[in-house]
Amino acid sequence: MPQSPNGTHYELSGIRQNPPLVLIHGLGLRLSLWRDYISVLAEDYFIINYDLFGHGASQPPPTVPSLVLFSEQLKDLLDEIEVESASIIGFSLGGMINRRFAMDYPDRVQSLIILNSPHERDPKEQLLVEERAKKTAKGGPVATLDTTLKRWFTADFLSNQPNEIGKVREWVLSNDPTIYAQCRFVLAAGVNELIQPNPPISKPTLIATCEHDSGSTPEMTLSIASEIKDAKSAIVPELQHLGLIEKPELFLSLIQDFLEQNN
């Protein structure tokens, strides 16, 4: 798979003449998150899938991670691939990055899909989230992984899909502890720069989360949608944070319907 001069590891799928579609994974994960999606979406779209700095096979971030840095990473990648603009799907941290990108480079965006992504919190909760993120540096991802997996997956999936859980566990544990902690702080604190986005985001946008996602709640999804003109929202029933791995077919139907209407 190719790697850009700035150290971004990426893969391309589908026919270049088709509408471009970027996929952005979440904290501690990697481009393999989208493996069940690419075979379907590549029939109609030119897929650009990549590892964030410090994740997967990409190089460490060149400076302390921030949403702006990750936005610049995506811009540089599109420049290298010679894609002028694209629709962008972002999961969790990726759904914060695609919002930041739409604010920084609006002419490079066709549409946005924001999946299971956090937003404005109560001030006390915001402080707690940021403090927990800072403490991650002491134990690394392994210190909280079992608790995290219980937030990400339903109990049935945890019990019955050990191979899938093992893959996710391997992805998370492969992260450098310091970089992981820095990126977790971006996930925690970065929402502050996305509230009532300025400049406003005016591209066609779909925001979705799962009914039982405790960190990217349905209320947050509705809040994001209220701050983007004509945005659509959807709540996937029953699932938790990584519902897109448990039931990819539910997310694929949302994604395909939205893209068909906005490309």
In order along its 263 residues, the chain shows pLDDT tens digits of: 689 999 999 999 999 999 999 999 999 999 999 999 999 999 999 999 999 999 999 999 999 999 999 999 999 999 999 999 999 999 999 999 999 999 999 999 999 999 999 999 999 999 988 887 877 766 678 777 888 999 999 999 999 999 999 999 999 999 999 999 999 999 999 999 999 999 999 999 999 999 999 999 999 999 999 999 999 999 999 999 999 999 999 999 999 999 999 97
Sign of the CA dihedral 107, 49, 88, 47?
A: positive
Q: With H, G, I as helix, E, B as strand and everything else as coil, classify residue 135.
A: helix
Residues 43, 45, 46, 50, Cα dihedral to 10° = -100
Q: With H, G, I as helix, E, B as strand and everything else as coil, classify residue 69.
A: helix
**Number of CB atoms found within 10 A of residue 159's CB:** 10
Residue located via tokens 């403490």 = 135
Q: Look at the chain and count its residues.
A: 263
pTM reported for the whole predicted model: 0.96
Q: Which CATH architecture has domain 10-121+191-261?
A: 3-Layer(aba) Sandwich (3.40)
H helix and E strand count, the chain: 11, 7
| Per-domain residue ranges of the chain | 10-121+191-261
Locate 59 and state its tokens. Answer: 């190089």
Locate 67 and state its tokens. Answer: 């949403």
Nearest to 53 by CA among 67, 38, 33: 67
